[in-house]
Structure 1
Amino acid sequence: MVHKVEVYYDGYCSFCRSVKANLQKLDWLKKLSFVDFRNNEVNGIDIDELNKKMHVKDLSTGKVTIGIYGIKTILQRVPLLMLLLPFLYLLIALGLGQICYDFVAERRLIVPVGHCTENGCKLPVKSANK
Structure 2
Amino acid sequence: MKTIALYDGTCSLCKETKRIFEKLDWLNKVEWISLQEYEKTSNPISISRQDLRKELHIITSCGDVKKGYFAVRRLLILFPVSFIFSILFYLPFIPQIGNPLYQWIAKNRHKFLRKKCDDGSCSL
Report the TM range for the smaller structure's normalisation: 0.7 to 0.9
C-alpha distance 103-58 of structure 1, shift in aligned 2 (>3 A): same
Report the count of equivalent residues: 112
1:19 is aligned, of 5, 10, 17, to: 17
Aligned to 1:33: 31
Deviation at 1:91, TM superposition (A): 7.4
Aligned to 2:53: 51
Q: Which amino acid is 1:47 matched to?
A: R
Aligned to 1:87: 88
Alpha carbons 2:89, 2:95 under 8 Å: kept: no
- If the length of structure 2 is used for normalisation, what is the TM-score? 0.77
- If the length of structure 1 is used for normalisation, what is the TM-score? 0.73
Alpha carbons 1:13, 1:108 under 8 Å: kept: no
Deviation at 1:15, TM superposition (A): 1.2
Deviation at 1:98, TM superposition (A): 0.7
Q: Which amino acid is 2:71 matched to?
A: G
C-alpha distance 76-106 of structure 1, shift in aligned 2 (>3 A): same
Q: Which amino acid is 1:81 matched to?
A: S
Aligned to 1:126: none
Deviation at 1:55, TM superposition (A): 0.7
Deviation at 1:108, TM superposition (A): 1.7
Unaligned runs of 5+ in 2: 111-115
Q: Which has the larger radius of gyration?
A: 1
Deviation above 3 Å: which 4+ runs of structure 1? 90-94, 120-123
Q: Can you list the C-alpha shifts for 1:43-95, whole angstroms capped at 9, x where unaligned? A: 31111111112111013x21111111101110121111112223322475461
Unaligned runs of 5+ in 1: 110-115, 124-130
C-alpha distance 107-100 of structure 1, shift in aligned 2 (>3 A): same
Aligned counterparts, 1:91-130, within 5 A: 92-93=93-94, 95-109=96-110, 121=118
